[in-house]
Amino acid sequence: MIIGIVAVDRNGAIGKGGQLPWHYSADMKFFKETTTGHACVMGYKTWLTLKKPLPNRLNIVLTRQAEIEPQDSLLVVRDLESVLALIKTLKGDLFVIGGEQVYRSFLPFIEKWMVTEVPVTVEDADAFAPSGYLDDFQLEESRNIDDHLAVSFYKRAER
């Protein structure tokens, strides 16, 4: 299954200056517990924020230009089709973890979304979830992960 996982502010912002513009340990814990044992696909800018591969996950970096030093549990691919071809061989799910361009590229293929609603508004944000990314999805449930954060789970509506 292809699952989008994202944290958004009140205006759909996901980044500012190449960074996550907030830090909530409950969200980081949820992300780690949810994605461990699965594959995570990300763009080059998201990769740069990590500094090293996410442990206990297959890290897939989708980039055309960057040369990335080979590392364990890291796969560099040049196009969307290569990632989609890998899905058949994965033992778990494929989590789309950002950034903005990667979310947009995978939008037709994402079957579920896990959206952390961050209770802030980021001034001068420069990266956003794709507009209308939840248009074809239905809310299944929302779960509080701490006093100020909730994660909403969306499933693609039947066509």
In sequence order, what are the residues at sequence separation of 6 or more whose Cβ sits closer than 8 angstroms to the Cβ of residue 21?
9, 13, 15, 120, 122, 125
Lowest mean pLDDT among 32-36, 40-44, 66-70, 122-126: 66-70
- DSSP H helical ranges for 36-113: 44-50, 80-86, 100-106
Q: What is the CATH number assigned to the segment(s) 2-14+24-132? A: 3.40.430.10
pLDDT at residue 51 is higher than 90: no
Nearest residue to 112 via CA among 52, 64, 155, 57: 155
State the chain's mean pLDDT as an integer: 94
pLDDT at residue 106, rounded to an integer: 97
- Average pLDDT of the segment spanning 4-30: 95
- Average pLDDT of the segment spanning 19-46: 95
How far, in Å, are 29, 63, 88, 101, 128 from residue 13 at the CA level? 20, 22, 32, 13, 4
Give the three-class secondary structure for 23.
coil
Domain boundaries, the chain: 2-14+24-132
Sign of CA dihedral 78, 79, 83, 85: negative
User: Using one digit for the tens of pLDDT, what is the confidence trace for 91-110?
Assistant: 899 999 999 999 999 999 99
C-alpha–C-alpha distance, residues 155 and 159, integer Å: 12
